[in-house]
Amino acid sequence: MSDRREATLRRLGLVPSAGDLIRAALGGALARAEAARLAQGAAPPAVVVLDAGCGRSSALARHRARIGRFVGVDIHPPAPGALPYLDEFATLDLCTISDAFPPATFDLVLSSFTVEHFADAGAAFANLARWLRPGGSLVLTTVNRRHPFVAAYLGLPNGLRRRIQPLVKATAADAHPLVGACNDPAELRTALERAGYGEIRIQAVGHLARAWGRRRPAFVLGLVGDLLTRGMPSRRSTLVVTARIPGPAA
Ligand SMILES: C[S@@+](CC[C@H](N)C(=O)[O-])C[C@H]1O[C@@H](n2cnc3c(N)ncnc32)[C@H](O)[C@@H]1O
């Protein structure tokens, strides 16, 4: 999205953005993980992270210098050389493969705009919980079915939605099949609690104009959607969630 459109959104008070919240969540989780590793005597950078459903970009890449081992997984393999910041990549379905990593491998898992694609979000959350160390953090973002536009979009017949997706996404490669089976704050909280997470914090933020902002008509539609729910926090389009596996605090 252009700087001008971003400035318009900030002027209209559509802040913080989902990006702002994700950056703050990742910064806090990384600092906690660094302190925990240091307390165990590991020399930095010792933090081990997973981007679960890493696609073609990662909000963790900017922190590369603070990360000892950076792993990405996705159901689709990336183009050769597309993810230069990763140390390892594995092609796998997070909803079905539970033994890809030993238990307690990661200090921090990011799963960004993936839950809406999961056929079995509960199984994916349980796998990620198993792979996180005690005290480790999960940061995830997804769409909120309580927003009327999101609900309408998820409710479209698959064929029609497949035709619309490339209009709001940057490229066809970003248009993945949608399931949306665990996409409201209450369902997410229940699924995360069942999978063993604690300290669950769910924030809802208007993100449609930013997500759809590359083309003017989609940007304007997104802006209307964001303004419509500005005064209704639980109905905003996008959920930014932090949760932790119970264990020693850093
Ligand atoms: C909307 S993209 C988000 C990509 C990236 N995380 C980001 O924020 O730009 C969703 C990603 O989740 C992946 N994905 C969907 N279902 C998955 C599954 N069951 N297991 C692993 N990856 C999955 C897709 O292949 C895609 O790369």
Residues flanking ligand 1, CB < 6 Å: 53-55, 57, 74-76, 93-95, 112-114, 117-118, 176
> How far apart are alpha carbons 143 and 135 in whole angstroms?
26
Q: What's the gap in Å between 92 CA and the centre of ligand 1? A: 11
Which has the higher per-residue pLDDT, 193 or 165?
193
Asked whether the beta carbons of 52 and 91 are under 8 A apart, the reply is no
CA of 176 to the centre of ligand 1 (A): 8
167 or 26, which is more confident: 26
pLDDT at 221: 94
pTM (2 d.p.): 0.94
Taking the CA of residue 184 as centre, how many other CA atoms within 13 Å lie in the half-sphere pointing to its CB?
11
Tens digit of pLDDT for each residue in 209-225?
999 998 899 999 999 99
Closest residue to atom 9 of ligand 1, CA basis: 57
What amino acid is encoded at 46 in this protein? A
